[in-house]
Structure 1
Amino acid sequence: MFSKLPFRKAVSGLTAATALALGATLMAAPSASAVGSSACTKNIKDATYPVVQWDHADMRTGPGYSYKVKKSVFAGSKVRVYCTAYKKGNTWYYGKSGKTKGWMEYHAFF
């Protein structure tokens, strides 16, 4: 007959090992997760810029191309800009489009 106790023990051990491995993976995740205004190096007072880049520009979770795209902002849309950051040769603007806040490259506006 099949015993339930060793099966439960095996499942518990597997669950614990999976959780531990997942936790280690999450802790070792790259730093390109969402970065808010904490990355700002210069504040901008009362600025709203229209997107002029081709048909759209990407709004990202952080100031750099390695960050995830949160939203595409179409040409002609206005973005309320709060601050800037200079990263790896590019200027990035932190702002708000609709209800979404994120980072957009300088070329989206100028």
Structure 2
Amino acid sequence: MNRHALTTAAGLTLLAAIQAPAAHADYARDSSSCTRNDRDHWRSSHNDHRTRVRTGPGSEYSVKDQMGPLALLRVHCSAVSRGGQRWYYGRASLDSNGARQTMGWVWSGQLT
């Protein structure tokens, strides 16, 4: 392979690596996406369905897990999605006794 082709291939590989996160809108968002500090209050999931915990503040993000009925979310902060809905970020209990937990985003409309 000649020097020009090698340089071009290396440049394209680097460009692809830099653009990969931006091209995939579903990568996980942590608390850096928060716009309001709601630290240290609790919200409860509804008792009639499983509440989705997502990787980012909006329904366009992947579901990473589900909270069980009457499980708790310890809210750290929140953000408003592109659709204008409030999303809370915090530590979600995935069952009613809190034995299983995960960090993630939950839509305020699924909480009481």
Deviation per CA, 1:11-46, whole angstroms, max 9, x where unpaired? Answer: xxxxxx9xx78x838726322210000010101132
- Report the counterpart of residue 16 of structure 2 in structure 1: 24
Does 2:102 match 1:100? yes
Distance 2:70 2:44 in 1: 5
- Report the counterpart of residue 34 of structure 2 in structure 1: 40
Name the Cα RMSD after superposition: 2.3
- TM-score normalised per structure 2: 0.70
Deviation per CA, 1:35-81, whole angstroms, max 9, x where unpaired? Answer: 00001010113201111163111000000111111111012001111
Is contact 1:59–1:70 with CA below 8 Å preserved after alignment? yes
Determine what percentage of the aligned residue pairs are the same residue.
Answer: 35
How many residue pairs end up in the alignment? 92
Does 2:66 match 1:72? yes
- Report the counterpart of residue 10 of structure 1 in structure 2: none
Q: Which structure has the bigger radius of gyration?
A: 1
Q: Unaligned 5+ residue runs, structure 2?
A: 1-8, 93-99
- TM-score normalised per structure 1: 0.71
Does 2:53 match 1:59? yes
Distance 1:54 1:65 in 2: 20
Q: Structure 1: which 4+ aligned runs deviate by more than 4 Å? A: none
Q: Unaligned 5+ residue runs, structure 1?
A: 1-16
Q: Which of the residues 57, 80, 85 maps onto 1:90? A: 85
